[in-house]
Structure 1
Amino acid sequence: MHEIELKFQIPESRFTHLRQRFLQGRTEAVRMQAHYFDTADGLLAGHEIALRLRLEGTQWVQTLKASGAHGVSRLEHNAELLADAARNGAPALDIDRHRGSPAHQRLVDVLGDAVLHEVFRTEVDRIVRVFTLPGGAEIEAALDTGQVVAGTARLPLREIEFEWKAGPLHSLFALASDWVTEHGLWLDIVSKAERGTLLSRGQSHPAAARAKPPQLAADADGPALARAAIGSCLAQVLRNASAVAAGSRQPEHVHQLRIGLRRLRVVLREMAPLDCGLDPGWESPIAELFRVLGADRDQQILEDETADALVAAGAPPLTRPRLPAGAEPLDARVQHAEVQQVLLAVQAYAMEASAVSGGAHEGPAVAALGDRLDALLHRLIDHSRGFVDASVDDQHAVRKELKRLRYLAEFIAPLYRDKPVARFFDALAPAQDALGKHNDLAVALAAYRERAATESEAWFAVGWLAAQQARSARAARKALKRAGQAEPFWHGKPRG
């Protein structure tokens, strides 16, 4: 069966009020102890599979879960054990209890002959409440407190889950939205199984998620194409947002979250003409978070790569410059209710749990995007001609347009043959790198120019960076011209 749920972390300062609110309905309390199994090298965790034995009150249940789409849908199979199977404590693990389920087949394919052993356990006090909503919707909510235990390591748990059971799926998102607004919840797609695996390895956060191509059909209409593209964005955004909201300052989490948000903004902007129900109101909160993340990345580049390059060039000693700090730390910005509401709305859209206008665009949606890609590609050569003499802002606008070309092309690339697709992106890559380096130099030059107004030692950096930027502008111009000559794969024959 497919499990569809939304899981949220609860701010410590809001927990007492949330618990009181939760207990206003009919609830049931259950104490649970779960034992999680994997191979010595973490084979199941590496394939996003969780296998556990859990004592729920007096009943042992063996559960197998495997990842699904959008971070909120999963394959799940539960096997309740007979009383005699657990007569002498925890029962023995038996993967054949899941035979016949889709999750079992995935487990068998991954596991092979590898040996399973217990890696960690969870101890959870759960309060369950079922919400019956208009339209026949039934949502089961679970308020969990407890801990994850791996050897001598402990990790506290304080989270709430909303699981769709029946009725209109949009009711799940509507209910969750109300609780986000009232209690300051933030989405977290890192499961208890993943947290246990991380704890057993001495790690705090999962690896950063990179972009993956969408799954779509060649004859997809506007809404189907937009949903597939947004689903691809969400797979990257939600995992990295979960890490940053949980306090990660790892540069790769921040970087990949920013990429995911940029890809999402490309969908909102470039697929809007397909009239596929995309809400323009989603753009503003995403853009603001993107800006904050960009400032953080600029600071990291300034403090590390640029400063090291200046030292190697013989610059006099200087304290490393800092860009203006944001009013809130990154975790608080990701947790912000406005951001969380947009992430919920975008998930609802991707899972067909929101209204779609549709119907206004005639003809295949992929063909319409091909026309837009042609226009973006043809402009690269025009941009290359005046790039060196353009203002910094105009040069940055060219870089953003190049990224729109790349990401929009990536959304339809799975429909076409591998070699033409690879040749196209290989042609774009040097321009992306050249413009990225040029932009980093522009940010650094502005920071050191401001510094030179009060510290004369900074003038060495200004002169050196200005010279580097002049060279990087010429390199970017050449790379842009070559990129503009790339052969558009979307003019070719799609896969059969």
Structure 2
Amino acid sequence: MTGTAFELELKLECEISDCDTLVDRGSPIPVAVWGRQHLRATYFDTPERRLASEGFVLRIRSEDGDLVQTVKAASGPSTGLFARGEWEKALAEHQLSLGEDAGPIGTLFGPDVIERIGPLFTTDVDRRVGRCDQLGARIEIACDSGAVLAGERELPLCEIELELVEGDASALFTLARAIAERCKVRLGVESKSDRGFRLIDHKLDGAVRADPVRLSRDMTPSEAFAAIAASCLRQYRLNESRFLAQGAAGPVHQARIALRRLRSAFWIFSPLLRDDPRTAQFIEDLRWLTAQWSPLREIDVLLPRLGEAERMRLTAIRAEAVATLGETLDSARARLLPLELVEWLTVGGWRSGEAGSVSGALPVFAAERLDRLRKRIKRRGKSLAKHGPEELHQLRKDAKKLRYATEFFVALYPGRKARTRMEDMLSALEDIQDLLGELNDETDAGHLAAQWNIPWAEVVRRPGWRRKRLSRARKNVTRLLDVKRFWRSAD
């Protein structure tokens, strides 16, 4: 068997009990017969991950005794769906065969790379698989439970994969929602190879920062928004999963950052979205979800500043807040929101017709939006020392938006001069954000201390602390405005 295919797949994270519900307990999903497979796969790359860096995954999988070599390649930015080219080749023995008939690896990489490709990790999975018809589409459903293995280390996995065999992608989401009504599934954003690389890199714990967004100048604004939103959703889901497993402060902070980045993307690309009737509801849902994480973040900011006795008391309050947030994240509204966003990003009305029409190339669109944010900061930065908490909060939000927009669009403006200007601008924005953030945290901490009867007078800042930070913030606004705009080469 040798063949080339294109794979469109939607992943749902779940528990083993969810797979049992779907397969064995009278599921409403119309699958006539469920088959069983035992799949053991070995994943290969060079020690420095040359294949992965170019977007390729290489594996040999044993499918009930038959050996199949597979090369997978990402087709470009996706919106939560795994959209990949796939080349398969039957093997007689467990040994790589990377000739011209084995996909692009054998032709794109020279002998210096091919000779250093070796095994990195394996997956061992029990799969229950069936097919169903949904809205005129044929979909393969695979319920996988097993583990990723690397030496003595092991990472359990359990997921439901929905692969489009034939038909429209919207059918995948219809089926996913039907499953979500029966099982507590969540949008999956990691492939099995992603999990394997995490395992061998010892990155199973801790918070996940945002990955760079890979935009190109020939993208349309719609394509750019989809890629940025996908990146934000991935960061959110990775941190949500780690919070649910650990309850630690780091994932709380990064989950909130992911949601703020996504909300900023909605603002930045609002000219594309304003005519789509679902936009306002998504903005409201994201605001609601962000608010659910806020109490824990406020506690985490306050905890380090307390004495031992008060810290112990607030730690107990934090444990209750962790449980409350966990219950909220288990709700249908919280679980389904990422899935609904991915569906809308993929097949929503904003992508076609008047709702998605914006004239001009992406660099031009980006420059206009960056200019607008800079003007808002210039306007709000005047008389900064006289601003009240709400005005400072609005200025801080604008600084965040401009920082996120800069990070989103950086790849569109190459060159050493543009990069130097961008770095100077980011430095000023980070200082503004940090300084105003400290002021905001101080206000919140005082309110929380009063709420929990904590003797706040023992931990308040020294006199003049607020005035000094406002003065430094004002200087950084001036520094920001003095930097030539990296997106305007004529400046």
Q: TM-score range by the shorter chain?
A: 0.7 to 0.9
Instruction: Identify which range, 318-327 or 70-79, moves more after superposition.
Output: 318-327
What residue identity is the alignment partner of 1:238? Answer: R
CA distance in 1, matches of 2:88, 2:263: 39
The 3-state SS of whatever aligns with 1:184 is coil
Listed as ranges, the matches of 1:182-261 within 5 Å are 182-200=182-200, 203-205=203-205, 208-217=208-217, 224-246=220-242, 247=245, 249=247, 253-261=251-259
Scaled by the length of structure 2, what TM-score is found? 0.81
> Aligned match of 2:472 in 471, 475, 481?
475
**Contact (CA 8 Å) 1:50, 1:193: kept in 2 or not?**
yes
> Aligned match of 1:75 in 85, 89, 103?
85
Deviations 1:184-221 (A, max 9, x none): 21122222233344445555259724242342446x6x
1:342 matches 2:337: yes
CA distance in 2, matches of 1:109, 1:441: 58
What residue identity is the alignment partner of 1:481? Answer: T
Residue identity (%): 25
CA distance in 2, matches of 1:46, 1:356: 29
CA distance in 2, matches of 1:210, 1:292: 21
What residue identity is the alignment partner of 2:70? Answer: T
CA distance in 1, matches of 2:98, 2:380: 61
| Cα 1:435–1:413 shift into 2, 3 Å | closer
CA distance in 2, matches of 1:445, 1:2: 53
| Cα 1:158–1:371 shift into 2, 3 Å | closer
For residue 245 of structure 1, report the CA deviation from its aligned partner. Answer: 1.6
**Contact (CA 8 Å) 1:35, 1:54: kept in 2 or not?**
yes
Report the equivalent of 2:178.
178
Report the equivalent of 1:319.
310
**Contact (CA 8 Å) 1:244, 1:331: kept in 2 or not?**
no
What residue identity is the alignment partner of 1:75? Answer: G
| Cα 1:460–1:164 shift into 2, 3 Å | same
| Structure 2 alignment gaps of length 5 or more | none
The 3-state SS of whatever aligns with 1:488 is coil
Scaled by the length of structure 1, what TM-score is found? 0.80
Report the equivalent of 1:133.
134
What residue identity is the alignment partner of 2:116? Answer: A
For residue 78 of structure 1, report the CA deviation from its aligned partner. Answer: 1.5
> Aligned match of 1:93 in 89, 92, 95?
95
The 3-state SS of whatever aligns with 1:73 is strand
**Contact (CA 8 Å) 2:139, 2:165: kept in 1 or not?**
yes
Report the equivalent of 2:124.
123
For residue 298 of structure 1, report the CA deviation from its aligned partner. Answer: 3.8
What residue identity is the alignment partner of 1:3? Answer: E
> Aligned match of 1:102 in 92, 101, 104?
104
CA distance in 1, matches of 2:427, 2:128: 52
Deviations 1:90-135 (A, max 9, x none): x232241574523555666994542513x44333221211122334
1:386 matches 2:399: no
1:61 matches 2:68: yes
| Cα 1:111–1:233 shift into 2, 3 Å | farther
**Contact (CA 8 Å) 1:215, 1:228: kept in 2 or not?**
yes
CA distance in 2, matches of 1:431, 1:396: 14
Deviations 1:447-469 (A, max 9, x none): 246537987964242142x6322
| Structure 1 alignment gaps of length 5 or more | 86-90, 308-315
Report the equivalent of 1:313.
none
**Contact (CA 8 Å) 1:380, 1:483: kept in 2 or not?**
no
For residue 483 of structure 1, report the CA deviation from its aligned partner. Answer: 1.9
Report the equivalent of 1:292.
292
| Cα 1:378–1:40 shift into 2, 3 Å | closer
For residue 241 of structure 1, report the CA deviation from its aligned partner. Answer: 1.2
> Aligned match of 2:405 in 405, 408, 412?
408
Deviations 1:413-439 (A, max 9, x none): 443343235414523532432332332
CA distance in 1, matches of 2:38, 2:434: 53
What residue identity is the alignment partner of 1:364? Answer: G
What residue identity is the alignment partner of 2:156? Answer: P
Aligned CA RMSD, in angstroms, stands at 3.7
CA distance in 1, matches of 2:332, 2:41: 32
